[in-house]
Structure 1
Amino acid sequence: MSDGTHLTVEDAADPAARAAVLDGLIAFNTARTGPGTFDAQPLLVVLRDAGGAPIGGLVGRNRAGWLYVELLHIPESQRGRGLGRRILERAEAEARARGLAGVWLETYAFQAPGFYARMGYTTVGTLPGCPPGQACHFLAKRLDGAPLEAP
C-alpha cells in the first residue's frame, strides 16, 4: 500500500491489535446508534460445587441492547436436574433488570437447540456445515414476550 500500511496474518492474540479493531468498531457503531449501545457489561451466573469452586454456568454480556450468551455449560454429572433452565432464567431476569430487549445466543446442532426451543427461543439463523457435518444455530428471545420480527 502506497502510504506504508501493510497487512499481517498473526496467530497470537495481540491485545493492542484487538483493542484497535474493537475500539474503532465501537466508535463507528456508537456514532450511528448513540452512546452506551455497545457498552459490554458482563453477566455471569455461576454454578458452584459444595466447596464454592465454579463447575459451570453462563457467561454473557450486554451487546447492542440485548444480552448475548457467549457460553453456557452444565457438567454432565449435573444435567437433568433443571439447572440449565434455572441458570438461563436467572440470566433472563438480570437482562430484564438491565432493561435489555432480549437474549441471543448460538448453539451447535449436537448441543442444545431443543433445550432453547423449550425455553421460548426462536431460531433466527442457521449456518450449515459449521462444524463439518453439523450446523450452528442462532437463537433469540424477546423478554417482553413479543414475537421476533424480521428485519
Structure 2
Amino acid sequence: MNNINHEGELQIVFGVHEEDYKTVCNNLYNYNVSETNGLLNKPGQTINLFLRDETGKAVGGIFCATYCETLYIDNFWIDVEHRKKGYGRSLIMQAESMASELGCKLAHTSTFSYQSPEFYKTMGYKVFGLIDEYPDGIVQYFLKKRL
C-alpha cells in the first residue's frame, strides 16, 4: 500500500508504528476524559481474573475495564475442557461483584453467535443490538445488564 499525500500537508501511512499508536490512543483517551468531565475515569480500574489449573497454568480468564460507572467485558475465555462446569458463571459473577463494589451500575459486552450469546443471556444480559451481515450467518450480539 502506498502512502497517500494530501497536497503536501499530511500523509496517510500504513504500517506498524508503536509510538504513533500510543500517541493517538493517549490523545483520544485524554479527549474523552475531558469531554466526560472525568466520568470516563470512574472507577477507572481494570478487573482481570484468571482461572488456573493445579499446575498454575491459565485455563481461562475474564478481562474487564471500568469506565463511566460501567463494567466492560473485553475478553472472556475458558479452555474447552473446563467449560460447562460453572467456572464461567463464577468468573463473571466475581467480576460483576467487584465492579459493583467500585460503583459500576451497568455491564456490557459483545459476543458472536459461535461464541457465547446464550451464556450471557442465562447470566441476565439482554441483547440491545446486533450485526447480522457477516458471512456464513455469523451474528455479533451486543449485550448489557444492570448490576
- Name the TM-score, length of structure 1 as normaliser: 0.84
Q: Between Structure 1 and Structure 2, how many residues are aligned?
A: 141
Question: Residue 54 and residue 131 in structure 1: after superposition, are their counterparts in 2 closer, same or farther (change >3 A)?
Answer: farther
Counterpart Cα distance in 2 of 1:131 and 1:69:
25
Contact 2:39 2:67 in 1 (8 A): no
Question: Residue 132 and residue 64 in structure 1: after superposition, are their counterparts in 2 closer, same or farther (change >3 A)?
Answer: farther
Question: Residue 23 and residue 116 in structure 1: after superposition, are their counterparts in 2 closer, same or farther (change >3 A)?
Answer: same
Whether 1:24 and 2:4 are equivalent positions in the alignment is: no
Three-state SS of the structure 2 residue aligned to 1:37 is helix
Q: CA deviation at 1:54?
A: 1.1
Aligned twin of 1:93: 97
Question: Partner amino acid for 1:9?
Answer: F
Contact 1:126 1:135 in 2 (8 A): yes
Q: CA deviation at 1:94?
A: 0.7
Counterpart Cα distance in 2 of 1:124 and 1:16:
36
Give CA-to-partner distance per residue, 1:14-73, whole Å, 9 cap, x none.
Answer: 321222221221222222211251475221111000011211111111133211111111
Counterpart Cα distance in 1 of 2:109 and 2:135:
16
Percent of counterpart pairs with the same letter?
27
Counterpart Cα distance in 2 of 1:131 and 1:30:
36
Aligned twin of 1:105: 109
Aligned twin of 2:13: 8
Aligned-residue CA RMSD in angstroms?
Answer: 1.8
Counterpart Cα distance in 2 of 1:90 and 1:100:
13
Counterpart Cα distance in 2 of 1:48 and 1:130:
34
Give CA-to-partner distance per residue, 1:110-143, whole Å, 9 cap, x none.
Answer: 1111111111101111011335420111111111
| Bigger fraction of residues in helix | 2
Counterpart Cα distance in 2 of 1:7 and 1:105:
32
Unpaired stretches in structure 2, ≥5 consecutive residues: 1-5
Moved more, 60-69 or 74-83: 60-69
Structure-to-structure mapping, 1:61-100, within 5 angstroms:
61-100=65-104
Moved more, 84-93 or 30-39: 30-39
